[in-house]
Amino acid sequence: MIRVTLPDNSVRELPEGASAADLAADIGPGLAKAAIGAFAANGDGEERPLDLATPLPGDCNLRLVTNRDDEALTILRHSTAHVMAEAICNIWPETKLVYGPPVEGGFYYDIDLDYKLTPDDFPKIEAEMQRIVKEARPFTRYEMDRAAGMEKLKKEGNPYKLENAERAKGDVLSFYVTGAEPGAFWEDLCMGTHIPDTGRIGAFKILSVSGAFLHGDAKKKQLQRVNGTAFFNKKDLKAYLTQLEEARKRDHRKIGTELGLFALDPLVGTGLVLWKPRGAIVRNLLENYLREELVRHGYLPVYSPNIGRLDLYRTSGHFPYYQDSQYPPMYDRPGAAALQAIVDAYEAGEDVTAASLNEALEPFTGCCGVQIDASALNAEKIEAAKEILRDEEGYLLKPMNCPHHIRIYASEPRSYRDLPVRLAEFGTVYRYEQSGEVSGLTRVRGFTQDDAHIFCTPEQLQGELASCVQLTRYVLDGLGLKDYRVRIGLHDPDDGKYIDNPQAWAESEAAIREAVKLSGMTATEEKGEAAFYGPKIDFVVKDCIGRDWQLGTVQADYIQPINFDLSYTGSDNKAHRPVMVHRAPFGSMERFIGILIEHFEGNFPLWLAPVQVLVATISEKSVDYGREVAEQLRKIGMRVELDDSAERIGPKKHYGRSLKVPYIVVVGEKEAESKAVNVDPRDRDGSKTIPLTELIEMLKQENDPHALRRQNENERAGASS
Ligand SMILES: [Zn+2]
Ligand SMILES: [Zn+2]
């Protein structure tokens, strides 16, 4: 008999050779029908996917997956990738399949096919897929020992599958037949897992085809990536397609250009954002909204330069380890960059010849008191080279603000009475994202973090974390982003990447949990998702079309205080180590505003709109009054644009609507006579004529950065009382 332990710790006994499907049937017919796969753990405790039909791996912990579980869609989508691959192979038998994983929102299959697929081919492929789905064929797994499996793949002559098989671990290779038995149906090399049969695919769609390089390497062959998605029912697919359509309409790159918020200019550089005046207004307002609250939370402003010495980043650990994601360092002298490259190569274990090392050292021997024997061992020369590079004034564009803030903390002696020290800066940092990854405002190479670093005693940590959580909510609530949850990233004691300090982990993780609990928010915990230096909280925000975004983050850090040997004098007069907190409620201003543009579809609330009122005159006769109205509105702090040109009123209003201006105010002779205005609001139907004084009062009331936040807080209070 096999003993199977279920998630609720109950145990069931089944005969040898029983499958997860047998187990489901043993529990009940409802579950037998709903189950689509399983995860089993035995021996080492690691969960592995398991098809329903595969015999259980002996005594084990088992978790059945039904279509209500998060993993179910992933299993369904990967299975649909098999079906799509078969359909493409049926239509174009010369297709060579490469790799077909599930991804966020769907799946893709990379294929090598000379015929270039276009969207016109999708209906044909989908019809063939539908045929396969209708046949409700089972996914059948069979295994071969490695040698025999490789032999079979060689015979089939698909070099990509051979390569995949070489990379696969274990002594056996597994294949999946879309049908009852091997040989009679289409099959694919795969580790699994899959849904029981193709009939479970309720709805699917091919979304696009794009170019993709083998292993993402531009030097390798260009393949075609066919992207699709699948769901258990048509309703979910329809909702998803609507969401994609909404997302396209809201694309911040399109709206940002139309509203004149920002520009991306290849002459300036990939991923480097130019904020135009209207975008700069939005950013300024957001920064001020946060700045005011920082004062109330006891933060102190600081400024730090955009570059720093390499030694600073050597101390923090950002150089040379994260060199690949940074702009190359700047050196005072030519030759240093080449020498650094040789040192990096040597340290990475690459082949470095004595000749190339001597050549790289050449510009430095003799000139600065360095004498290196050309016949010395490479290891000695590398040490000398590192010494030279340490003396060399090399600089890095700032990839992180933390090291600079740490040096501000270290610039004077600190006593326990000074703590917590909270240093805040809207600090611009630079990262070298791959050009293929750079996109709009959301993936850029230069961005500004609303950064702050808190230096506190371990006892103060929990209070500081709670205050950071509160601050993040202040920001999200203020922008009407009211649907959010938090994810707590905990360490995994079995993972060697985490610092070995059980007490610090225990204390800081308890502090983070408590801080979140006090806030009353729902939270999920994920083991192994902490930063290597401490646990963290991430805010996951749902925008108005249901997409999840990871925004604000709060992290505890025990490592940087050690790297920089930070201390404070305790009440016992001894030196103690402070704990650091990194936090950024917006994250990056660029990315946040990109998301905000999509969330509002460019219809910023009044307080955030770059142009709040457009005053448009009907004719020459109302120009003077138009100017007076604009003047009066500016006096109460409104951002007003005046259109007193000779253009007709229709096009003037059209221009205002295209800018998504919250209020278009029309003035003609009649209005001038009675000191009135005709107001056409963006968010309400129809226009009406009211006295100018009434408009002024209304705008004064409505132009409130805290209106949305109060509304959210009241709703929450109402819901909980
Ligand atoms: Zn598969
Ligand atoms: Zn930091």
8 A C-beta contact, residue 669 and residue 619: yes
Structure tokens at 88: 């493409």
8 A C-beta contact, residue 478 and residue 303: no
Buried/exposed 347-366: b ≥16 CB within 10 Å, e otherwise: eeeeebeeeebbebbebbbe
Of 318, 171, 286, 276, nearest to 584 by C-alpha is 286
Q: Which helix (H) or strand (E) holds 172?
A: strand 172-178
Catalytic residue among 200, 250, 431, 599: 431
Nearest ligand, measured from the Cα of 398: 2
Peptide bond into 458 cis (omega under 30): no
Of 620, 627, 658, 621, nearest to 641 by C-alpha is 627
How many C-beta atoms lie closer than 10 Å to residue 307's C-beta? 14
**Interval between CA 561 and ligand 2 midpoint (Å):** 12
**Interval between CA 533 and ligand 2 midpoint (Å):** 11
Catalytic (active site) residue 449: yes
Buried/exposed 264-278: b ≥16 CB within 10 Å, e otherwise: beeeeeebebebbeb
Predicted confidence at residue 323, as pLDDT, reads 76
8 A C-beta contact, residue 240 and residue 248: no
Predicted confidence at residue 672, as pLDDT, reads 93
Structure tokens at 275: 């904020």
To the nearest 10°, the Cα dihedral for 204, 207, 209, 212? -90
Could you give the residue ranges of the DSSP H alpha helices within 92-222? 122-134, 146-156, 159-167
SS3 state of residue 82: helix
The CATH class for the domain spanning 2-66 reads alpha beta
Catalytic (active site) residue 296: no
Structure tokens at 459: 């006892």
Nearest ligand, measured from the Cα of 109: 1
8 A C-beta contact, residue 173 and residue 143: yes
Predicted confidence at residue 261, as pLDDT, reads 97
Predicted confidence at residue 386, as pLDDT, reads 84
Structure tokens at 279: 């975008």
**Interval between CA 689 and ligand 2 midpoint (Å):** 53
Nearest ligand, measured from the Cα of 189: 1
Predicted confidence at residue 127, as pLDDT, reads 96
**Which residue is associated with the tokens 């070099």?**
159
**Interval between CA 66 and ligand 2 midpoint (Å):** 41
SS3 state of residue 210: strand
SS3 state of residue 551: strand
**Interval between CA 488 and ligand 2 midpoint (Å):** 18
Catalytic residue among 89, 190, 402, 468: 402
| CA-derived radius of gyration, the chain | 31
The rounded distance, in Å, linking the Cα atoms of 713 and 645 is: 44
Structure tokens at 404: 């600079």
Predicted confidence at residue 71, as pLDDT, reads 86
Nearest ligand, measured from the Cα of 427: 2
The rounded distance, in Å, linking the Cα atoms of 421 and 417 is: 10
Q: Walk along the chain (721 residues) in steps of 10 and give the mean pLDDT of each run.
A: 88 90 89 88 80 87 87 93 96 93 92 95 96 94 90 90 86 91 90 90 95 80 93 94 90 95 94 97 96 95 95 86 83 82 86 84 69 74 83 87 97 97 97 84 94 96 93 91 90 82 87 87 88 89 86 90 95 96 94 94 96 96 95 96 94 96 96 95 92 96 89 78 55
406 Cβ partners below 8 Å, 6+ apart?
A: 316, 453, 560, 564, 566, 580
**Interval between CA 80 and ligand 1 midpoint (Å):** 9
**Interval between CA 81 and ligand 1 midpoint (Å):** 8
Give the helix, strand, coil percentages of the chain, each rounded to 5: 40, 25, 35
8 A C-beta contact, residue 106 and residue 77: yes
Structure tokens at 27: 């529990």
Tell me whether residue 116 is exposed, middle or buried, using C-beta atoms within 10 angstroms of its C-beta: 0 to 12, 13 to 18, 19 or more. Answer: exposed
49 Cβ partners below 8 Å, 6+ apart?
A: 37, 38, 39, 75, 191, 192, 193
Of 607, 605, 625, nearest to 665 by C-alpha is 625
Task: List where CATH 3.40.50.800 sits in the chain.
Answer: 606-707
Catalytic (active site) residue 238: no
Catalytic residue among 451, 477, 557, 644: 451
Nearest ligand, measured from the Cα of 453: 2
Nearest ligand, measured from the Cα of 141: 1
Catalytic (active site) residue 405: no
**Interval between CA 116 and ligand 2 midpoint (Å):** 47
Predicted confidence at residue 378, as pLDDT, reads 80
Nearest ligand, measured from the Cα of 318: 2
Of 624, 600, 603, 621, nearest to 612 by C-alpha is 603
The rounded distance, in Å, linking the Cα atoms of 161 and 149 is: 11
The CATH class for the domain spanning 431-441+453-600 reads alpha beta
**Interval between CA 378 and ligand 2 midpoint (Å):** 37
Nearest ligand, measured from the Cα of 80: 1
Q: Is the dihedral of CA 214, 217, 218, 219 positive or negative?
A: negative
Catalytic (active site) residue 63: no
The rounded distance, in Å, linking the Cα atoms of 579 and 454 is: 8
The rounded distance, in Å, linking the Cα atoms of 238 and 253 is: 25
Predicted confidence at residue 259, as pLDDT, reads 96
How many C-beta atoms lie closer than 10 Å to residue 495's C-beta? 11
Task: List where CATH 3.10.20.30 sits in the chain.
Answer: 2-66
Predicted confidence at residue 214, as pLDDT, reads 82
**Interval between CA 481 and ligand 2 midpoint (Å):** 25
Structure tokens at 427: 């600090």
Predicted confidence at residue 219, as pLDDT, reads 78
Structure tokens at 305: 């330069």
CA 326 to chain centre: 18
CA 614 to chain centre: 37
Could you give the residue ranges of the DSSP H alpha helices within 523-564? 560-563
Q: Which helix (H) or strand (E) holds 510?
A: helix 502-519
Residues with CB under 5 A from ligand 1 (ion): 190
**Interval between CA 550 and ligand 1 midpoint (Å):** 30
Catalytic residue among 77, 200, 473, 536: 536
**Interval between CA 242 and ligand 1 midpoint (Å):** 28
**Interval between CA 706 and ligand 2 midpoint (Å):** 28
How many degrees, rounded to 5, is the angle at CA 553 between CA 549 and CA 554? 160
Nearest ligand, measured from the Cα of 553: 2
Catalytic residue among 224, 340, 449, 560: 449
Catalytic residue among 250, 398, 453, 591: 453
Structure tokens at 188: 């694919």
648 Cβ partners below 8 Å, 6+ apart?
A: none
The rounded distance, in Å, linking the Cα atoms of 10 and 61 is: 10
474 Cβ partners below 8 Å, 6+ apart?
A: 293, 585, 709
CATH code for the domain defined by 72-247: 3.30.980.10
How many degrees, rounded to 5, is the angle at CA 218 between CA 215 and CA 223? 60
Structure tokens at 680: 């056409």
**Interval between CA 85 and ligand 1 midpoint (Å):** 11
What residue type is 131 in one-letter code? R
**Interval between CA 122 and ligand 1 midpoint (Å):** 22
Nearest ligand, measured from the Cα of 164: 1
Beta strands in 325-412 (DSSP E): 330-331, 394-397
**Interval between CA 104 and ligand 1 midpoint (Å):** 17
Q: Is 606-707 CATH 3.40.50.800?
A: yes
Task: List where CATH 3.30.930.10 sits in the chain.
Answer: 431-441+453-600
The rounded distance, in Å, linking the Cα atoms of 338 and 607 is: 52
Could you give the residue ranges of the DSSP H alpha helices within 173-267? 234-250, 252-258
8 A C-beta contact, residue 146 and residue 154: no
How many C-beta atoms lie closer than 10 Å to residue 467's C-beta? 19
Catalytic (active site) residue 402: yes
**Interval between CA 493 and ligand 2 midpoint (Å):** 24
For residue 470, how many C-alpha atoms fall within 13 Å in the half-sphere facing its CB? 13
- Backbone dihedral region for residue 546 (phi beyond 0: left; psi -120 to 50: alpha; all else: beta): left
Catalytic (active site) residue 398: no
Catalytic residue among 137, 398, 582, 660: 582
Structure tokens at 399: 């990839």
**Interval between CA 15 and ligand 2 midpoint (Å):** 56
